[in-house]
Amino acid sequence: DSGVTQTPKHLITATGQRVTLRCSPRSGDLSVYWYQQSLDQGLQFLIQYYNGEERAKGNILERFSAQQFPDLHSELNLSSLELGDSALYFCASSVGAGRDTQYFGPGTRLTVL
Amino acid sequence: EDQVTQSPEALRLQEGESSSLNCSYTVSGLRGLFWYRQDPGKGPEFLFTLYSAGEEKEKERLKATLTKKESFLHITAPKPEDSATYLCAGGLGGATNKLIFGTGTLLAVQP
């Protein structure tokens, strides 16, 4: 158990809908990262937050957004969902924003029908 | 372009048969080379971080090494429970800790 929690574990929804994924980092960690893992793409970095502020963006679609709250938990919002958004979404956390080790949560499996 | 490439894509070993997994990288300003283990449907589990060429780290049957161009994950006398996908990732420099992942090596260890 890495100490990173994610909810829900599974999410099934329809195209065009909006969903919110939630992540709680390890105690004491200030950075939260979101990654997408699909069969054909592998693990892809989406976005990083450090102590409430956006630190880095990867290949995140405009339909996707995230935020980190004062209690350091984070939410990833996915809207206007498409079939191709079906994937595993992982949250990771680290102590700082530099080269610290990232610890991953168990993931949320999103299925868009 | 920053890139991490892992080989082989899949590897089947007999229990006790040692081998190595390769991770080659071209990451500008690399700030760490990370190894993770991932079981099906689960989150990546941290194994090692290597920061500089020549560095080595060991944990049970696993040993990770780093050169200026690649990293190896050596598996000595593997057991069936070592079966998993092993992921390698390069950490970018600058103000971010973004990881660039390889596509992984799927290891199957047969009894």
What is the structure's pLDDT at B38? 97
CB atoms closer than 10 angstroms to residue B72: 17
Binary contact (A31, B97; C-beta < 8 A): yes
Smallest CA-to-CA distance from B66 within B83, B89, B84 is with B89
Q: How wide is the angle at C-alpha A24 spanned by C-alphas A19 and A28, nearest 5°?
A: 155
> What average pLDDT does range A12-23 have in this prediction?
98
What is the structure's pLDDT at B49? 94
User: Is B95 a residue whose pLDDT tops 70?
Assistant: no
> What average pLDDT does range A89-109 have in this prediction?
92
Binary contact (B43, A99; C-beta < 8 A): no
Binary contact (A4, B43; C-beta < 8 A): yes
> What average pLDDT does range B2-20 have in this prediction?
96
At B58-91, the pLDDT tens digits run: 999 999 999 999 999 999 999 999 999 999 999 8
Binary contact (B42, A105; C-beta < 8 A): no
> What average pLDDT does range A26-48 have in this prediction?
93
The shortest C-alpha distance from B62 to chain A (Å) reads: 18
Query: Which tops the pLDDT comparison, B94 or A18?
Result: A18
Which of B97, B100, B105 is best to mutate for the A interface (most A CBs within 10 A)? B97
Binary contact (B95, A97; C-beta < 8 A): yes
What is the structure's pLDDT at B109? 97
Mean model confidence pLDDT for chain A: 95
Chain B CA closest to residue A47: B98
Establish if B34 touches chain A: CB-CB under 8 angstroms. Answer: yes
The beta-carbon neighbor of B43 closest among A55, A98, A104 is A104
Instruction: Please state, in angstroms and rounded to a whole number, the distance separating the CA atoms of residues A43 and B103.
Output: 8
User: Is B93 a residue whose pLDDT tops 70?
Assistant: no
Chain A residues whose CB is inside 8 A of the B84 CB are: none
Binary contact (B43, A43; C-beta < 8 A): no
Establish if B104 touches chain A: CB-CB under 8 angstroms. Answer: yes
- Tokens representing B102 are 């390889």
User: Is A91 a residue whose pLDDT tops 80?
Assistant: yes
> What average pLDDT does range A34-50 have in this prediction?
91
User: In the block, which residue shows the tokens 């993770």?
Assistant: B36
Write the single-letter amino acid at B67: T
Instruction: Please state, in angstroms and rounded to a whole number, the distance separating the CA atoms of residues B109 and B43.
Output: 20
- Tokens representing B32 are 């760490």
Establish if B32 touches chain A: CB-CB under 8 angstroms. Answer: yes
B27 CB-near residues (< 8 Å, 6+ apart): B2, B3, B4, B90, B91, B92, B100
User: Is A40 a residue whose pLDDT tops 80?
Assistant: no
Establish if B46 touches chain A: CB-CB under 8 angstroms. Answer: yes
- Tokens representing B90 are 């390069």
Sheet holding A5-7, edge to edge: A5-7, A19-24, A74-78, A64-68
